[in-house]
């Protein structure tokens, strides 16, 4: 499983940033295409969190096995 990691910052306080990790289940999408296919997910997150701006995004391998709590 891949994780779509979004680096986001507060619009009113650009120095206040955090990383948001969104699970990205894409069995038929190569890792090299994850960011492109993850763009709609990033847009949805930003629509739900209007006070934040996207600084960058990246796809990373999940560090925990699937199904782990």
Based on the structure, what is the number of domains in the chain?
1
What is the tens place of the pLDDT at every residue in 16-49?
999 999 886 656 667 777 778 888 989 999 999 9
This prediction's pTM: 0.76
Tell me what pLDDT residue 67 has: 41
Q: Tokens 């739900």 appear where?
A: 48
Quick check: is 66 in a domain? no
Coil vs helix vs strand at 55 = strand
Q: Are 59 and 5 in contact (CB under 8 A)?
A: yes
Quick check: is 8 in a domain? yes
Quick check: is 69 in a domain? no
Domain extent, residue 40, equals: 2-61
Quick check: is 16 in a domain? yes
Tell me what pLDDT residue 54 has: 97
């Amino acid at each position: 499983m891949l994780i779509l990691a979004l680096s986001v910052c507060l619009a009113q306080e650009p120095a206040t940033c955090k990383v948001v990790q969104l699970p990205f289940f894409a069995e038929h999408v190569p890792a090299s295409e994850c960011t492109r296919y993850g763009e709609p997910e990033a847009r949805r997150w930003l629509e739900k969190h209007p006070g934040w701006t996207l600084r960058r995004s990246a796809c990373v391998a999940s560090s925990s096995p699937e199904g782990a709590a």
